[in-house]
Amino acid sequence: MNKTQAIHKTKVQTTADAGTEVSRTAVAAIGITGGLIGVWAVTCLFSGMIASGGSGNMVASLFKAITG
C-alpha cells in the first residue's frame, strides 16, 4: 500500500480601494481628535478646581453662577 500526501498551495490576494483607506484615515483622525478634546476638558476641570480652592467651592461657585 502506497500512502502519498498532496500539498496544495493557494494564494489569497486582497485589495483595498482608495475610498476605504480614506474612510479608515478619517475615522482614526476623528477618534484622535475626540481623545484630545477629552483630555483638554479634564485638564480644564482640574485647573478650575485648583483655582476655586477645591471641589466643594467649585460646585458652590457653579450653582452661584447659574442661579445668579
| Domain encompassing residue 68 | 39-68
* Domain presence at residue 48: yes
DSSP 8-state assignment for residue 54: S
Write out pLDDT tens, residues 1-27. Answer: 667 777 778 887 777 677 788 888 999
Q: CA 6 → CA 2, 42, 67, distances in Å? A: 13, 62, 82
The whole-number pLDDT of residue 1 equals 60
* Domain presence at residue 60: yes
The whole-number pLDDT of residue 26 equals 93
What gap in Å lies between CA 58 and CA 64, rounded to an integer? 10
**Grid cell locating 1:** 500500500
What's the mean per-residue pLDDT of the chain?
87
- Decide if 62 contacts 56 (C-beta within 8 A): no
* Domain presence at residue 51: yes
- pTM for the whole thing? 0.59
* Domain presence at residue 53: yes
**Total number of domains constituting the chain:** 1
**Residue ranges of the alpha helices (H) in the chain?**
18-52, 55-67
Q: Is the pLDDT of residue 47 over 80?
A: yes
